[in-house]
Amino acid sequence: MPDDTWKPPRILLTVDLVILTLRGGRLHLLLVRRGVEPFAGRAALPGGFLADERENILSAARRELREEAGLTDIPHLEQLGTYGDPDRDPRGRVVSVAHLAIVPRLPEPIAGTDAAAAEWTPVDDVLAARVPLAFDHLRIVVDGVERARSKLEHTGLATAFCPEVFTLTELQQVYEAVWGTPLDPRNFYRKVQGTKGFVVPAGPPRATGTGRPARVYRAGPCRNLYPPMIRTVPTVAAGGDER
């Protein structure tokens, strides 16, 4: 029970970003190499402190996306969760609001990046702990990837990985990469077509080099898929809900 002189503690707030994309059929994550202590030299999520007393949290996430990754048009950005273990940062009480961002396949690593050492890393390498991360960032990545996997089931999130106009085969590759399961193209085709509002036709078929030219689509209006896409791999028995 606080006495009359008690003042609430003041803490430092950061935003961290789990930025996912598809490269060569595999799910990748953007990591930066830390230049300063703590964890200097270690890979970490892009992110940083609130710029000033009045900066919005979502705006801060967008700013870091721009400054640290050179990304300005983000198809999907959502809050992931807040991580505030008192010992997560040796500098003091730093609470981080983690965000999940999805971007389509980009031309090359990163454009004019502030943190010069930003690079796309296969998510598998991070999850298998072959690439050690700073702070509690591994935990954040695990949660972010699981969020993406889950949202692919009942939202149109998969389209955020695709360019504005895409083929159903490209969309299927998103599911296969994020879920790590192969899907039957014929059933996938039928399923997506049958899910009203998931995708809408966009122009005439496009030749992809070899094989029959595919019809192209763009993201449909529906945010929530009904019926949902089905991930046969039974939702990885994840354990606790508490953080």
Partner DNA sequence: TAGCTTTTTGTCGAGTCGACAAAAAGCTGT
Partner DNA sequence: ACAGCTTTTTGTCGACTCGACAAAAAGCTA
142 belongs to the binding site for a second copy (CB under 8 A): no
Report the residue number, 56 or 169, with the smaller CB distance to a second copy: 56
Report the partner that residue 27 touches, choosing among DNA, a second copy, none (CB closer than 5 to 8 A by kind): none
Q: Cα(33)–Cα(11) distance, rounded to whole angstroms?
A: 25
- Smallest gap from Cβ 164 to DNA, in A, equals 17
167 belongs to the binding site for DNA (CB under 7 A): yes
- Smallest gap from Cβ 218 to DNA, in A, equals 14
Give the H/E segment covering residue 193: helix 185-194
- With CB under 8 A as the rule, give the number of residues binding a second copy: 43
- With CB under 7 A as the rule, give the number of residues binding DNA: 25
112 belongs to the binding site for DNA (CB under 7 A): no
* Structure tokens belonging to residue 45: 């999520």
Report the residue number, 114 or 119, with the smaller CB distance to a second copy: 114
203 belongs to the binding site for DNA (CB under 7 A): no
Minimal CA–CA distance to 148: which of 223, 59, 76? 76
Q: Cα(73)–Cα(103) distance, rounded to whole angstroms?
A: 8
For residue 155, the SS3 value is strand
Burial class (CB in 10 A: 0-12, 13-18, 19+), 140: buried
Q: Cα(119)–Cα(21) distance, rounded to whole angstroms?
A: 12
Q: Cα(156)–Cα(199) distance, rounded to whole angstroms?
A: 8
24 belongs to the binding site for DNA (CB under 7 A): no
Residues between 30 and 89 with contacts to a second copy, criterion CB under 8 A: 49-58, 76-79, 81-82, 84-86
Residues between 182 and 201 with contacts to DNA, criterion CB under 7 A: 184-187, 189-191, 193-194
155 belongs to the binding site for DNA (CB under 7 A): no
214 belongs to the binding site for DNA (CB under 7 A): yes
Non-local (6+) Cβ contacts of 231 within 8 A are 149, 152, 153, 179, 181
* Structure tokens belonging to residue 171: 């969309």
207 belongs to the binding site for DNA (CB under 7 A): yes
Q: What is the DSSP letter of 206?
A: B
Site residues (CB under 7 A) for DNA? Answer: 167-169, 184-187, 189-191, 193-194, 205, 207-215, 227, 230, 232
Site residues (CB under 8 A) for a second copy? Answer: 2, 8-14, 49-58, 76-79, 81-82, 84-86, 93, 95, 97, 154, 223-224, 226, 228, 234-235, 237-239, 241-243
